[in-house]
Structure 1
Amino acid sequence: MASNDVTAVEGETAWATDQLALAAAMTALLKDHAGLGIRLKEVPFDWTSGMHRLTGSFHYITFADGVPTVQEFVEYLYDCLIPYCLPKSKVRDALQGIDPVLDYHRIVRLGDDAKSLFIKAKNQLESGGEPGELILYALLEWVLKAPRLVSKMYLKTNSNMPVHGTDGIHLGYDEAKDVLTIYFGESKIYQSFSSAADAAFTSMAELLANAGQISREIEILNNLSDLNSLDPAFRAKIADYINPYSTSKLTLQKRIVHACLLGFEYAAYNRILDLEPDKVASAFEEKYKKRIGSACRVIERHYGKRLPVTTNLHLFLLPFPSLKIFRAAFYEKLGVAA
């Protein structure tokens, strides 16, 4: 083999190794969400809209003995407060060299800090402190394997650093294609699906029409994110992907996806609860699949009329038996009034 061929092979091998290492580093930033698969179930649905930039994931709260496990879902969300609310560096520093017997107070204080931030957001911000943002965070990490790189809750509640815009910023990396995805999160939980969809598309359309706001979101990712949790070499590579002023070819290998959670109250839950317990879940799924189909048609109409055709959008759909009961349970767990 000629020397230039050897060099080419070695270069390709190093490139592939680097991609795998970056993928592993990104995966290491994810919280272990295995437990979420017990609380939410995904319903397979073939969404053939013809709109190639439109994708979706469709979930519902699981049943136990024929009853929706709302309280258990709330408990899971509560356990996500620390990784959602606090920067990874703050958590890492607090737990560095910890002895669980002698230093348990440091763990308690982390929980207190996260809880206080969430409550502060609920009390002070027009948009914030909603469990929907917490659900969106968990779904992005669990379903799309995209770690949270910006603690929007932490930034929003910092009086010296007012931050608006998206409900979250996550990063995903496809090592096979060597493509970095920036996810801008949007969470809307309303009584009706139509209201949630309308509010979400209004918000996304406003963001897309505001180039300055999108630039600020990218700037936050560059300067105020948890990228310092990565090895310096990987930080530098990600900077090449997302830095708009970089001359690296990697800037051509990124995309932005708007990840939108639509939560709504779904009356079908109440219509099946008098069935035999072991038949409830299958009966619910049959009804829900039809609702998914009608919801997707609404999303297609909104998308076609209100967003540029080049917009990448991933929809998360999640129905609730009762939003009043869900919110009351969540805020009771926090120790505050709904």
Structure 2
Amino acid sequence: MTSTNDGSLAEALKELLNPSKLNHHIACVVRHDDSCQKDGPRTALLHVRFKEDEPQVEALAEFLWGQCMYYALPRRRRLKFKKALDEDFAVLAQVHQAVRDAFIDFNEKHPSRASELGEVLAYCVVQHHLSAPQVAAKMALKTSSNMPVHGLDGIHATFENGALTIYFLESKLSRSANDGVKDYATSAATFLSNRKQYLREYEIVSDLGHLDSLEGEAREAALDYFDILGQPRLPRRERFIGVICYSEGKHFANKIPVSDGPVDVHEKHFAGNYRAEHGHHQGAARKHIEDQGCDTAKSILFFVAVPDVNALREMFYQAMGVPHAPAEPEPVKEPETQL
């Protein structure tokens, strides 16, 4: 492997990044790389943006549905659609239908795993905050009849500081931050303990991911870097990303009176109260990750606060054109402990 090939790979991965205006819909009050992170794991606090005093949940749902056009379609198919759109704008209806059918088909086959909202959100968060593109369209793979439905929620990668960094994504929709990060830690530990599934994820990227749309030196370098058995000495980092979207009842309910002053005062009021939760959320993450025997230095957590996760999920499917979100059984929860 030459430095020339490494440079080609770095540039090619940047080209896989898709347009996204996540910051128009989700604000960040604590970054994952802020100096306040201390003992880790690196923990970011995000929340749905406000329009004066109202959290813009419906606008977020509509944005996430629009991002599904990038999230769900393999890059080769997306590029083919783009070329056809340049010739005939009516092809747009086919694109919408193809993505919508992928979600509906998956939900019909696997009604107990209707968690795509979280997966799309995780895709957007990692693209925006880590500048790491998706390297396998997991939704397209999950709807294939011969592909296993289980596995990671996403795989992203970027080439930085002389090595390929691979991000393994787990998304959680949860009634609380603590429940969500506990589920994340369990999922990460389960993945790490299953070498067959671990190798399968690398195989998926090499055989069925977006790398097939790369060319020349970039494609050669990418295939080498994702060949962890054949090229074990190439420099790689692995990081485990948890995107926990949860219902933050307390702080969204803590409102201040509407006035004719600055329109962003309500969002700033929420952000100030929410920022104070960073130590609590980070401590909960550290406890659950360590309880599972995992390394907190290799985990990065993004908490995304919304007033009601179930309402966001319902609006997401309405934006898709599905009147009601598919039923999602409530898991049996242990009593939540105060950390």
3-state SS of paired residue (1:307): coil
Q: Which aligned pairs between 1:135-284 and structure 2 lie closer than 5 A?
A: 135-174=121-160, 177-247=161-231, 249=233, 251=234, 253-267=235-249, 268-272=251-255, 274-276=257-259, 277-284=263-270
Change (3 A) 1:284 1:312: same
1:162 is paired with a residue whose SS is coil
SS at match of 1:149: coil
Alignment match of 1:95 (pick from 49, 71, 82): 82
- Which is greater in Rg? 1
How many equivalent pairs are there?
A: 316
Structure 2 CA distance for partners of 1:180 and 1:270, relative to 1, 3 Å = same
Structure 2 residue ranges without an equivalent (≥5): 326-339
The answer to whether the aligner puts 1:306 opposite 2:295 as a matched pair is no
TM value normalised by structure 1: 0.87
Deviations 1:58-104 (A, max 9, x none): 2111111121111111121111111111100111122226435xx22
Moved runs in structure 1, 4+ residues, more than 3 A?
17-21, 45-49, 97-100, 273-278
SS at match of 1:316: strand
TM-score in terms of structure 2 length: 0.87
Provide Cα deviations, 1:174-208, integer angstroms capped at 9, x if missing partner.
Answer: 1xx22101111100011122221221111111111
1:62 and 2:49 are equivalent in the alignment: yes
Q: Deviations over 1:247-284 (max 9, x none)?
A: 474x2x10111111111111211211545454211211
Q: Secondary structure at the match of 1:99?
A: helix
8 Å CA contact 1:152, 1:167 repeated in 2: yes
- Are 2:37 and 1:48 aligned? yes
Is the 8 Å Cα contact of residues 45 and 275 (structure 2) preserved in structure 1?
Answer: no
Q: Which residue of 2 aligns with 1:10?
A: none
Q: Which amino acid aligns with 1:305?
A: D
Other structure's SS at 2:319 match: helix
Q: Provide the rounded CA distance (Å) in 1 between the counterparts of 2:295 and 2:147.
A: 34
Contact 2:123 2:134 in 1 (8 A): yes
| Shift, 1:129, TM fit | 4.6
**Is the Cα contact below 8 Å between 1:49 and 1:300 reproduced in 2?**
no
Secondary structure in structure 2 of the residue aligned to 1:172: strand
Residue number among 317, 323, 336 corresponding to 2:309 in the alignment: 323
Residue 32 of structure 1 aligns to a residue whose secondary structure is: coil
Counterpart pick for 1:110 among 95, 115, 122: 95
- Note the aligned Cα RMSD (angstroms): 2.1
Query: How far apart are residue 161 of structure 1 and its match?
Result: 2.2
Determine if contact 2:181/2:285 at 8 Å carries over to the other structure: yes
For the 8 Å contact 1:81–1:111, the answer to whether it is kept is no
- Provide the secondary structure at the position in 2 that maps to 1:169: strand
Aligned counterparts of 1:136 and 1:67: Cα–Cα separation in 2: 23
